[in-house]
Structures are given as structure tokens and as C-alpha cells.
């Protein structure tokens, strides 16, 4: 934008004031580009989406980010891992030391602190019964290993009578029927499946080009500014481990954030969010969140 344009547009006070009001009312930032499936009253979730290609042939149609989410004596540690961008990470270094110590107790700690892999892809929402306003729009979908495994299985089937497809292709890909059930109290994606290959929505190339031009750049999720420095992560890690006396971050805030942002679940699914929970409750919650981390995320 040129200086002349800046002067012509005038004051942005009203717009900025509204944004400040949103921040004051809403608390934490919500990325409205991220689409999240929801469960219905019966405890099931259903939606039909289409994975979309990348904007550049040099880029994969997904971004992958390693992160850690675990609880220690000083609170929760929920951070992106520097290993995503090929750098040393303090938690990763500690986990290697623990794993190589030869002690089963150390290995158990390393397991609880292990990194998890999340994927980000552009999607077109075909059907979203829980939120019909999302239908016909482009979003970013954050998903985990189970969904990614289904994508890989579609590209490279296990059986000779199954035809390989490119799930991210406008014309030769396939709609993805996301089916979520609760198994032993946890979200399960096993029934999710791809439909038969077909052009997205039977749309014309003109319509598909409009969708293509709306794709988000996934490279931002692995950009350097999405990661804290090694020293910042080490400081947070020390606090979580109880090595520093800095006041611990509110436990409920971290658990709620973990549920809604990392796991795609409502805070109501938490076993106990009371700040006055007993030590046994803390242990149950600790086990609960680590079990969740072993699911799709």
C-alpha cells in the first residue's frame, strides 16, 4: 500500500477498536481458518470433506508439525518442537538422555513427554451437519496420524484389487467421509473412508480454479516465527519440571487449550478441571491427556 492510499483510507480507529473488543471478550485467539469436526448429541460425528492440492507443485499438500503436550509439577508444556524445522529441541534432547539411560522409569517419562505429529491440509467442506454454514467453503484441517494413515493407504493400497488414488486431486481424487465415534470414551476415526473417485462436486474447471485460488499457504505452519527459540523453550520446560519458581500457568487454561486446540474436544470432556483436585485426580488427568495424545493426535 502506498503512502497516498494510506492517507486516503483515513483513520482505522473504529476497526481497531472492534478488534480490541473481540480480544477482551474472547480471551484466546481462534484461527477461523481452521475447521474442526464436532460430535452430535448421540456422541457421533460426521462430515464429508475433500482434501485439496497445494498451490505449488514443489510443495506437499500438507504441512507437518511436531509438538509436545504434557504435564509436569509446574504445569502444562504445550509447544511446537524445533525438530520440525531441523533444529535441536530441549525436550527432545532430554528425552534422548532418558531413553538411553537404560532405566525403565526414565523411558516411561520419555514416553509421556514424547513429541506428536500433526498435519495441516487445505480442504473443501462438502457436508457439515453440525455447522451447515461451513459447507461450500475452504478451510485448513488439522489432523493426526490415523487420518494421515488413511490418506497414505488410499495412495498406496495394501491389496492388489484396490486402485490407488491421489486424494488431493481435483478430478481424480475422492471425497473423504469423516466418521467419528466414541470408543471407551475417546474419539475414534476408524470408520472414516474415501468415497469413489470423482471430480470435486462435479464442478467445472472454472469453479475449480476459483477454489484453487482460495487455497491457503501451508508453509506458514513451518515458518521460523511459529517456533519459540531454544532458550525460551528451555525456560518453559524448566518451569514445567518444577526447576524454577516462576508461578505456574493456570492449570485449567492449559487443559482447556489442550482439549480444544490440540484434541478438537470440548473442555466438558475433561475428567476433572477443578483447581482444587486431589493428587490422585491429577494423576488420573495426567494419564488421560497422555492417552489422548496417543490417539489421532
> Looking at residue 274, which CATH number applies to its domain?
3.90.198.10
Per-residue pLDDT reduced to its tens digit, 69-124: 999 999 999 999 999 999 999 999 999 999 999 999 999 999 999 999 999 999 99
Q: What is the pLDDT averaged over residues 11-34?
A: 64
SS3 73: coil
Per the CB < 8 A criterion, the answer to whether 269 and 259 are in contact is yes
Q: What is the pLDDT of residue 145?
A: 93
What backbone torsions phi and psi does residue 2 show, to the nearest 5 degrees?
-80, 165
Asked whether residue 11 is assigned to any structural domain, the reply reads: no
Per-residue pLDDT reduced to its tens digit, 235-287: 999 999 998 765 454 445 545 545 544 444 444 444 443 333 334 444 444 44
Q: What is the pLDDT averaged over residues 20-40?
A: 73
Q: What is the pLDDT of residue 63?
A: 97
Per-residue pLDDT reduced to its tens digit, 153-195: 999 999 988 899 999 999 999 999 999 999 888 889 999 999 9
Asked whether residue 127 is assigned to any structural domain, the reply reads: yes
Give one DSSP letter per residue of 26-40, joined into a string: H-S---TTEE-----
- In sequence order, the β-bridge partners of residue 47 are 178
Asked whether residue 12 is assigned to any structural domain, the reply reads: no
Q: Which residue has the cell 518442537?
A: 81
Q: How many CB atoms lie within 10 A of CB 207?
A: 13
Asked whether residue 2 is assigned to any structural domain, the reply reads: no
Give me the helices (H) in 217-278, please.
230-240, 251-257
Asked whether residue 135 is assigned to any structural domain, the reply reads: yes
Per-residue pLDDT reduced to its tens digit, 201-242: 999 999 999 999 999 999 999 999 999 999 999 999 999 999
The model's confidence at residue 7, banded by pLDDT at 50, 70 and 90, is low
d(CA 107, CA 294): 16
Q: Which residue has the cell 486402485?
A: 163
Domain span at 178:
35-293
Asked whether residue 22 is assigned to any structural domain, the reply reads: no
Q: Which residue has the higher pLDDT, 27 or 110?
A: 110
Q: What is the pLDDT of residue 12?
A: 63
Q: What is the pLDDT of residue 58?
A: 83
Per the structure, how many domains does the chain have? 1
d(CA 146, CA 180): 12
Q: What is the pLDDT of residue 203?
A: 97
What global pTM score does this model have?
A: 0.77
The three cell numbers locating residue 85: 524445522
Asked whether residue 54 is assigned to any structural domain, the reply reads: yes
Please tell me what DSSP assigns to residue 231. Answer: H
| Per-residue pLDDT at 143 exceeds 60 | yes
Q: What is the 3-state secondary structure (H, E, C) of 132-163?
A: HHHCCCEEEEEECHHHHHHHHHHHCCCCCCCC
d(CA 76, CA 262): 13
Q: What is the pLDDT of residue 42?
A: 84
Asked whether residue 28 is assigned to any structural domain, the reply reads: no
Q: What is the pLDDT of residue 20?
A: 59
Amino acid at each position: 500500500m502506498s503512502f497516498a492510499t494510506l492517507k486516503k483510507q483515513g483513520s482505522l480507529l473504529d476497526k481497531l477498536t472492534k478488534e480490541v473488543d473481540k480480544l477482551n471478550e474472547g480471551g484466546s485467539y481462534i484461527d477461523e481458518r481452521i475447521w474442526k469436526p464436532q460430535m452430535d448429541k448421540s456422541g457421533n460425528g460426521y462430515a464429508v470433506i475433500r482434501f485439496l492440492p497445494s498451490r505449488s507443485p514443489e510443495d506437499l499438500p500438507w504441512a507437518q508439525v511436531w509438538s509436545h503436550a504434557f504435564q509436569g509439577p509446574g504445569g502444562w508444556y504445550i509447544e511446537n518442537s524445533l525438530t520440525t524445522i531441523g533444529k535441536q529441541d530441549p525436550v527432545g534432547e532430554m528425552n534422548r538422555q532418558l531413553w538411553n539411560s537404560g532405566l525403565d522409569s526414565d523411558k516411561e517419562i520419555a514416553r509421556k513427554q514424547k513429541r506428536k505429529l500433526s498435519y495441516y491440509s487445505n480442504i473443501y467442506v462438502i457436508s457439515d451437519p453440525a455447522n451447515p454454514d461451513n459447507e461450500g467453503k475452504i478451510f485448513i484441517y488439522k489432523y493426526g496420524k490415523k487420518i494421515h494413515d488413511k490418506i497414505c493407504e488410499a495412495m498406496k493400497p495394501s491389496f492388489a484389487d484396490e486402485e490407488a488414488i491421489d486424494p488431493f486431486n481435483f478430478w481424480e481424487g475422492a471425497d473423504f467421509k469423516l466418521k467419528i465415534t466414541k470408543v471407551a470414551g475417546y474419539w475414534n476415526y476408524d470408520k472414516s473412508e474415501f468415497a469413489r473417485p470423482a471430480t470435486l462436486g462435479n464442478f467445472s474447471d472454472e469453479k475449480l480454479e476459483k477454489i484453487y485460488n482460495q487455497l491457503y499457504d501451508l508453509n506458514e505452519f513451518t515458518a521460523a516465527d511459529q517456533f519459540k527459540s531454544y532458550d525460551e523453550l528451555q525456560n518453559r520446560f524448566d518451569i514445567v519440571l518444577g526447576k524454577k519458581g516462576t508461578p505456574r500457568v493456570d492449570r485449567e487454561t492449559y487443559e482447556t487449550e489442550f482439549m480444544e486446540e490440540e484434541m478438537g474436544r470440548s473442555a466438558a470432556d475433561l475428567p476433572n478441571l477443578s483447581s482444587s483436585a486431589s493428587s490422585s485426580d491429577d494423576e488420573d488427568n495426567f494419564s488421560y491427556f497422555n492417552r489422548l495424545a496417543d490417539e489421532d493426535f
